[in-house]
């Protein structure tokens, strides 16, 4: 046996750490890497030069990691990122935290100084393990070339299994350049990491029985439904039991918005019907949502009359914010399959259904028309002219909420937004990843003028790859949501929320070889959208919208979910 082992080792060919990394990525079927080279990762980039994996060079590392997030959200595959050590690595910290909050699978490689000088404040050294520990699902630092295949295999498994999330691999330069004879990696063996995917059947049956007894049930569906690829199962179960569905911001698209059982988005800028359904229900069935504060408002007034059932693959989420009577730990898809088999008796809820129907009819989203271009009208036109089939990518702010309210998503994996961290500058690069994940899709990047100016350099990537993204800027010459809060809560004291100086966004686009249009009226919006939406080339659309427009309805901080303002009948 020992002789055979020696013979096997003798036959192994020595390869470099960088070779092992590229080989491992190819084994994981990685299609695209979003990366920015630098001194500490030059050995990796030298090997990448000969690889068939597509490499996308963002013009800023933060753009690269947001692009990887967009790719992961649409494709369901892990986004792969490479950054060099020190400032290159710290430039992607926001994106790592963003992915952690929104449960997006990323595998992130950061270059590190050579092992012999780690801890000496060497040039471009940063403690990436220490920095990323609170914002990653797991992180590694490679300390032996022979560990590289195992670490990468484990990283992809951890990032994509259970509740998805980002995994960081810190890669010292000398290990990337060094060589060793390394056997093929063995099977994954992680006894301390065993996510529960199969729900406890007795708990699922308890939930099924509670549904049969309920008089005012409602499903709250979050992004966990999308991560589990369970949209069709959710629709089937809702129809089987005649249950109405409310979505979180991140869960949009998990249930068709034109379905009669859909009530709309809940939360701070959610619709009246969805929020009142959560307030008055007697059984709340949470599937894959984490009860964040923008959804619940004041917890004292959240679903005060309801028994709460919570299905989540992450047991840490259950009972974290809202007391839960029926906990179900497991994959949302598996839980829905069990519920469908159990079937149970649909609840008797005629009065509840009539009430919900009346609210939907009487309290829709609304805005006042005027000669000034309204952002809500622009979203309605984008929905109408893309027939609801576009992938909608947003930045963060007022435009994000108008997109969530007025673009009626019918399918899963068509909605890309920064929900948990609320990262400005996310939208434009995320649209690059979304388009690469689905090259045939119509991708619309809905941005505010503030967020757009945080990542305008990524226009170069769009031009380089001729990605046919339609960049729709809602230009109100302000940080709109900040301005809205200053108007309402700070007596119109607009402290540094307006943009007195802006470049011509059209000329900026043209500088990158991208067509651009400035749009002031509804008639112009109709005409230009008809002209450009189905072009096979990128276009920038600078919509000059009403700068005084606010997002309503709204739940003020500290208020209950039933205390909305801006509701009109």
Could you list the active site residues? Answer: 61, 123-124, 173, 481
Omega cis (within 30) before 553 = yes
Give the other-Cβ count within 10 Å of 345's Cβ.
11
In order of 238, 349, 422, the CA distances from 346 in angstroms are: 10, 9, 38
Q: Are 254 and 411 in contact (CB under 8 A)?
A: no
DSSP codes joined into one string, 67-131: HHHHHHHHHSSPEEEEE-STHHHHTTHHHHHHHHHTT--EEEEEEE--GGGTTTT-TT---HHHH
Q: Minimal CA–CA distance to 60: which of 457, 415, 441, 404?
A: 457
By three-state DSSP, how is residue 211 classified? helix
Strands (E), 372-442: 391-394, 415-416
Copy the structure tokens of residue 414: 């068509």
**How many Cα atoms are found within 13 Å in the side-chain-facing hemisphere of 234?**
36
Whether 155 and 107 have beta carbons less than 8 Å apart is answered as yes
DSSP code string of 446-486? EEEHHHHTTSGGGHHHHHHTT---EEEEEE-SB-HHHHHHH
In the three-class reduction of DSSP (H, G, I as helix; E, B as strand; rest coil), residue 317 is classed as: helix
| Token pair belonging to 293 | 């504060």
428 Cβ neighbours under 8 A, 6+ residues apart? 63, 395, 445, 447, 451, 452, 455, 456, 458, 459, 471
Which residues contact residue 292 at a Cβ distance below 8 angstroms, ignoring those fewer than 6 apart? 248, 321, 420
CB atoms within 10 A of CB 13: 8
Q: What are phi and psi of 461, to 5 degrees?
A: -65, -45
CA distance linking residue 565 with residue 569, whole number of Å = 12
Percent helix / strand / coil, the chain, rounded to 5: 40, 15, 40
Reduced to 3 states (helix: H, G, I; strand: E, B; else coil), residue 250 is coil
Looking at residue 492, the DSSP 8-state letter turns out to be T
Please name which of 113, 109, 220, 267 lies closest in space to residue 175, comparing C-alpha atoms.
Answer: 113
CA-to-CA separations, 352 to 15, 214, 325, 482, in angstroms, rounded? 67, 10, 22, 38
Q: Cα–Cα distance between 137 and 158 in angstroms, integer?
A: 8
């Amino acid at each position: 046996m020992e002789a055979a082992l020696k013979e096997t080792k003798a036959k192994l060919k020595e390869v470099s750490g960088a070779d092992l990394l590229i080989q491992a990525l190819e084994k994981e079927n990685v299609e695209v890497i979003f990366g920015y080279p630098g001194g500490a990762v030059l050995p990796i980039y030298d090997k990448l030069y000969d690889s068939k994996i597509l490499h996308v060079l963002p013009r800023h590392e933060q753009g690269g990691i947001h692009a990887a997030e967009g790719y992961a959200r649409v494709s369901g595959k892990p986004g792969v990122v490479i950054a060099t050590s020190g400032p290159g690595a710290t430039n992607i910290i926001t994106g790592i935290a963003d992915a952690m909050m929104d449960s997006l699978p990323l595998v992130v490689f950061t270059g590190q100084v050579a092992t012999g000088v780690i801890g000496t404040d060497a040039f471009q050294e940063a403690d990436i393990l220490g920095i990323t520990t609170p914002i990653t699902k797991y992180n590694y630092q490679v300390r032996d070339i022979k560990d590289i295949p195992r670490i990468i295999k484990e990283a992809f498994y951890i990032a994509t299994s259970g509740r998805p999330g980002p995994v960081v691999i810190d890669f010292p330069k000398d290990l990337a350049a060094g060589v060793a004879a390394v056997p093929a990696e063995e099977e994954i063996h992680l006894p301390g990491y065993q996510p529960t995917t199969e729900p406890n059947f007795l708990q699922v049956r308890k939930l099924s029985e509670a549904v049969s007894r309920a008089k005012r049930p409602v499903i709250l569906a979050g992004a966990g439904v999308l991560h589990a690829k369970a949209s069709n199962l959710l629709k089937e179960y809702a129809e089987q039991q005649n249950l109405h569905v409310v979505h979180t911001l991140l869960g949009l698209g998990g249930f068709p918005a034109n379905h009669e059982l859909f009530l709309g988005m809940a939360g701070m800028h959610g619709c009246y019907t969805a929020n009142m359904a959560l307030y008055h229900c007697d059984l709340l069935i949470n599937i894959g949502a984490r009860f964040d504060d923008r959804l619940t408002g004041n917890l004292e007034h959240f679903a005060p009359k309801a028994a709460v059932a919570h299905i989540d693959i992450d047991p840490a989420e259950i009972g974290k914010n809202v007391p839960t009577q029926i906990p179900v730990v497991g994959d949302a898809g598996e839980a829905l399959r069990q519920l469908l088999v159990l079937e149970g008796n649909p609840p008797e809820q005629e009065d509840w259904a009539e009430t919900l129907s009346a609210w939907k009819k009487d309290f829709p989203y609304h805005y006042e028309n005027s000669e000034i271009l309204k952002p809500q009208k622009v979203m309605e036109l984008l929905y109408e002219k893309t027939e609801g089939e576009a992938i909608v990518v947003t930045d963060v702010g007022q435009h994000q909420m108008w997109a969530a309210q007025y673009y009626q998503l019918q399918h899963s994996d068509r909605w890309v937004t920064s929900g948990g961290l609320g990262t400005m500058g996310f939208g434009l690069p995320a649209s690059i990843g979304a388009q690469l994940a689905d090259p045939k899709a119509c991708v619309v990047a809905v941005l505010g003028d503030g967020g757009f100016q945080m990542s305008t350099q990524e226009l170069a990537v769009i031009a380089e790859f001729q990605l046919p993204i339609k960049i729709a800027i809602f230009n109100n010459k302000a940080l709109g949501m900040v301005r809205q809060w200053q108007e309402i809560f700070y007596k119109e004291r607009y402290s540094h929320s307006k943009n007195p100086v802006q470049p011509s966004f059209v000329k900026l686009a043209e500088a990158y070889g991208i067509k651009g249009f400035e749009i002031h009226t509804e008639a112009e919006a109709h005409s230009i959208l008809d002209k450009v939406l189905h072009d096979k080339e990128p276009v920038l659309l600078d919509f000059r919208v009403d700068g005084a427009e606010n997002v309503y309805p709204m739940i003020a901080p500290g208020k209950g979910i039933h205390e909305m303002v801006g509701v009109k009948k």
